[in-house]
Chains A and B, each alone.
Chain A
Amino acid sequence: MKLSTLLTSAALALGVAGGAYADAHEKTKVGFVFVGPVGDGGWTYEHNQGRLAVEKEFGDAVETVFVESVAEGPDSERVMTQMALDGADLIFTTSFGYMDPTINIAAKFPDVKFEHATGYKRADNVSTYSARFYEGRAIQGHIAGKMTKSNIIGYIGSFPIPEVIRGINSAYIHAKKVNPDVEFKIVWAYTWFDPAKEADAAKVLIEQGADVILQHTDSTAPQAAAQEAGNVITFGQASDMAQYAPSPRVSSIIDNWAPYYIARTKAVMDGTWESKDTWDGIGAGMVSIGEISDAVPADVKEEALALKASIADGSYHPFTGPLKKQDGSDFLAEGETADDGTLAGMNFYVEGIKGDIPK
């Protein structure tokens, strides 16, 4: 009791001191919590590019801080608390596993604005944002289905969360559409960033006959493993990974966070920030498709670009019926498209994918 009182008053004193400090300086302080190192060449790299864009846009008016390689779960609460105590006005937490910690810490610091990437829990001072990566997955699936010769496509998943499952479904639907014989082999790595393990997963899939590797983990290791094996194609994940072009990397999904980060920082500066959910895709520019390399036949490239254009202008939705779930029950009727709520909580495979989703 005594100790906790002491700690609380110490925290309060710090908070007051921090608050006073925040008043005294005019800079807006923006914090970023990263799940991997900024040099991962993938997911965290792109978030850091967004951070640098904020610095460039506002110059001396902002100060940004970041902590990299923060474990998902309780440890991230410590990092967020420290940032808030240090006077951050806005904190971006950039991985799914920070969802509950973000909500917890946001409740303790009502004056600090939080932005959580890829989650679905919001509060008065917590917004969520994500990108419609599954739109890019549709294009990958199309190219993969067209280009595979063994008809086996390997997929390295990170964690069985809706975002990853959505990507698998979207890729599978579009691969199956152009190649009815296609089969997906899915391996869960249970990590976002572990190059050695990601490379091992890629090697195992290649040994089992896959000649296309799709990854939903953050490092470029699967690209290196594919290059080593030869005759395997891959796609850049989260970042362009152009250093592996033109082959094995034949295209990529690039996350472009900069416009969003700049807009939200601006909103905090202007005092117009409010809690909301943002989910943008190719059309709004939050997802871009990296250059499709010459390793892809010209006609496939053309189809892929047409698919991209139709998704961008909204005339085509990657989840358009008729579609069934894996268990054979109806998912979408002819012409029906999936609503955002269904997509956000997606926890089932579509018909044709083998294996179970880990619970």
Chain B
Amino acid sequence: MDLSVINPVLFVAGFLVAATPLIFAALGELVVERSGVLNLGVEGMMIIGAICGFATAVETGSPILGFFAAAVGGAVLSLLFAFLTQITLANQVASGLALTLFGLGFSALLGQRYVGVKPPRLAEVNFGPLHDIPVLGPVLFSHDIILYLGLVLVAAVWAGLKFTRAGLVLRAVGENHDAAHALGYKVVRIRTLAIMFGGACAGLGGAYISLIRVPQWTEGMTAGVGWIALALVVFASWKPWRLLLGAYLFGGITQLQLNLQGAGVAIPVEYLAMSPYVITILVLVVLSADKNAAPASLGRTFHASS
């Protein structure tokens, strides 16, 4: 065993990158669920975002345009879900699963021309002298703009839900859609907007995998991150900061166990491999032992006549 081969700076920088797709996808789903809708299509919207972002970045040469297209792609796909569940009042669980299946298949079709293509690189944000600070510089100030956008978004969602009128209305719709409706709020419209926000976030998360973390396009490349994001929302009891903590725990331990394996640490690999799941769940369950925070209307169909 030789722990000195693990470079802590590269390790931390690595797990910030690994956690980012999860942060985006889970944060979007958090907003959707706080509005009372359960969208199981996160995986499908992520993979659509991954290919839309990848294709656009390759064709235009601009990764930023790629991320923009990824958000649009995810949001457009989520509109399909919004139509099914909000207009035709279809079952949310079934519609979400259908969205995932559709997204996986459709992205494979869209992506056929892009297998093996190298995407343009998104440059690091230039922080000037900050980048040269030892340790802190490479860890905190040597990333791409999207990673920081993820952090800003967590803060914005937290503040938005807690302090703004729009956030209050969104939570009201999620807790009791009949009461919100009686007060004159447009439940369907608010939920549709929340679903689109969730779709855009999932799309960004997907594109972060295909444009930065891997970077390449491969069919089915999200490989279950969307499902982990869904679980994370529940274990974080629908709270943005806990979600961030959970994503970092999960990303961090995933990276750590790979690092420990490479360094030949004498912990059985099976335990290392399952540690990200076990530890993340444990920590978040302990944190959320105080109360059950699920939005009361989560997953229930709303119609103005009921």
Contact = CB atoms under 8 A, between A and B. Distances in A.
A225 B214 contact: yes
A188 B270 CA distance: 9
Q: What are the 7 tightest A-B residue pairs by CB atom distance, in nearest-first order?
A: A243-B116, A39-B219, A37-B219, A358-B269, A194-B223, A224-B216, A195-B221
A219 B268 contact: no
B170 interface: no
B152 interface: no
A185 to B, nearest CB: 5
A41 B21 CA distance: 23
Contacts, number: 115
Contacts of B255: 200, 204
A37 B262 CA distance: 28
Contact of B262 (A38, A41, A204): A204
A355 B264 contact: yes
A249 to B, nearest CB: 11
A37 B115 CA distance: 13
Interface stretch (B3-11, B85-93, B129-137, B239-247): B3-11
A220 B264 contact: no
Contact of A191 (B11, B219, B223, B258): B223
A184 to B, nearest CB: 10
A175 to B, nearest CB: 17
Interface residues of B, number: 41
A278 interface: no
A36 B213 CA distance: 20
Nearest to B108: A39
B216 A208 contact: no
Given A200-B254, A204-B262, A208-B5, A221 B269 contact: no
A160 B272 CA distance: 14
Interface residues of A, number: 45
A168 interface: no
Q: Which of B10, B108, B261, B262 has the most CB of A within 10 A?
A: B262
Given A185-B262, A200-B14, A208-B5, 16 more contacts: A37-B218, A39-B220, A41-B115, A41-B218, A196-B225, A203-B14, A204-B14, A207-B10, A207-B14, A208-B259, A220-B216, A221-B214, A224-B215, A243-B115, A356-B268, A359-B270
Contacts of B262: 154, 185, 187, 204-205, 208
A179 interface: no
Contacts of A354: 264
A40 interface: yes
Given A204-B258, A358-B268, A358-B269, A195 B7 contact: no
Interface of A: 36-41, 69, 154, 160, 185-188, 190-191, 193-197, 199-201, 203-205, 207-209, 219-221, 223-225, 227-228, 241, 243-244, 354-356, 358-359
A200 B220 contact: no
Interface of B: 5-7, 10-11, 14, 18, 21, 108, 111-112, 115-118, 209, 213-216, 218-225, 254-255, 258-259, 261-264, 266, 268-270, 273
A186 B108 CA distance: 31
A196 B221 contact: yes
15 contacts: A37-B220, A38-B219, A39-B220, A40-B220, A188-B273, A193-B220, A193-B223, A196-B213, A196-B221, A197-B223, A200-B254, A208-B263, A224-B118, A243-B116, A355-B264
Nearest to B210: A195
A204 B6 CA distance: 9
Nearest to B259: A204
A53 B31 CA distance: 48
